[in-house]
A and B are shown apart, each in its own frame.
Chain A
Amino acid sequence: NAGVTQTPKFRVLKTGQSMTLLCAQDMNHEYMYWYRQDPGMGLRLIHYSVGEGTTAKGEVPDGYNVSRLKKQNFLLGLESAAPSQTSVYFCASRETGRDLGQFFGPGTRLTVL
């Protein structure tokens, strides 16, 4: 099992460009999450999904969109990147009803110039 994978690992964008981050998990987890991590600010939830075809807003959703067309994939889109979106993005997944916490992917380091 690969667990949670994220692509790409690194990306540099210019202001105004768009991109999609892909998260995939092979553990058949229902719940998936997108976080951003900035120095000194811990992990902040952007969007999340409680099952295929569902999405919901987290703490900092502005400027991002998500889709969960397949259970194993959770996509995070930036329509018009801004320097304030420079961050490390983590995807995570979780099984329902188990005390196993969230499984995190390796992260995507995004820089917006």
Chain B
Amino acid sequence: GQQVMQIPQYQHVQEGEDFTTYCNSSTTLSNIQWYKQRPGGHPVFLIQLVKSGEVKKQKRLTFQFGEAKKNSSLHITATQTTDVGTYFCAGPRETSGSRLTFGEGTQLTVNP
């Protein structure tokens, strides 16, 4: 079945360092979504990428969708303590676009 994998599972950085998480799908995706979950909180939608090779920026966050539409990345420049949380990618299931398959997430901790 369709799988969405994320690496790394955990990442510890010093405040000010950059951070990248990678998302890989076993199948071609029509789009990829990214969510952030703060500790003790709920997932919050960040962005959706649709086009092959698409790059979108939100302040210090840069999101990329691979040319083959099977992988994606989230890069944070100069991390801050407010970036702490778990970042999930998710793609629509092949058999039902109304459902998402979530990756297991990358848990980011930022040391001040």
Query: Are A and B subunits of one complex?
Result: yes
Give A contacts to B, CB under 8 Å: 31, 33, 40-45, 48, 50, 56, 58, 90, 92, 94, 99-107
Give residues in B with beta carbon < 8 Å to A.
Answer: 9, 31, 33, 35, 41-48, 50, 88, 90, 96, 98-100, 102-105
Contacts of A33 in B (CB 8 A): 99
B88 and A43 within 8 A (CB): yes
Contacts A48-B98, A50-B98, A101-B35 given: A43-B45 contact, CB under 8 Å?
no
Whether A106 and B88, one on each chain, are in contact in the complex, defined by CB atoms closer than 8 angstroms, is: no
User: Cβ of A90 and Cβ of B88 under 8 Å apart?
Assistant: no
B50→A106 contact, CB < 8 A = no
Residues of B within 8 A of A99 (CB): 31, 48, 50
Contact of A106 among B42, B48, B90, B104 (CB under 8 A): B42
A43 close to B102 (CB less than 8 A): yes
| Residues of chain B lying within 8 A (CB to CB) of residue A100 | 45, 48
Structural contact, A42 and B48, CB atoms closer than 8 A? no
24 A–B pairs (Cβ distance < 8 Å), ordered by A: A41-B104, A42-B103, A43-B88, A43-B90, A44-B102, A45-B100, A48-B98, A48-B99, A50-B98, A56-B96, A58-B99, A90-B42, A92-B43, A99-B31, A99-B50, A101-B33, A101-B35, A101-B45, A101-B46, A101-B47, A101-B48, A104-B42, A104-B43, A104-B44
Expressed in whole angstroms, the minimum distance between the Cβ of B108 and any Cβ of chain A is 15
Residues of A within 8 A of B48 (CB): 99-101
Q: Which of B44, B99, B105 contacts A45 (CB 8 A)?
A: B99
- Chain B residue numbers with a CB within 8 Å of A106 are 41-42
CB-CB under 8 A from A44, the residues of chain B are: 102
Chain B residue contacts of A56, Cβ below 8 A? 96
Among residues of A, the one whose C-beta sits closest to the C-beta of B6 is A42
Instruction: Please tell me if the beta carbons of A102 and B100 are within 8 angstroms of each other in the complex.
Output: yes
Closest to A58 in B: B99
Do A42 and B98 touch across chains, with their CB atoms under 8 A apart? no
Question: Which residues on A sit within 8 Å (CB–CB) of B45?
Answer: 100-103
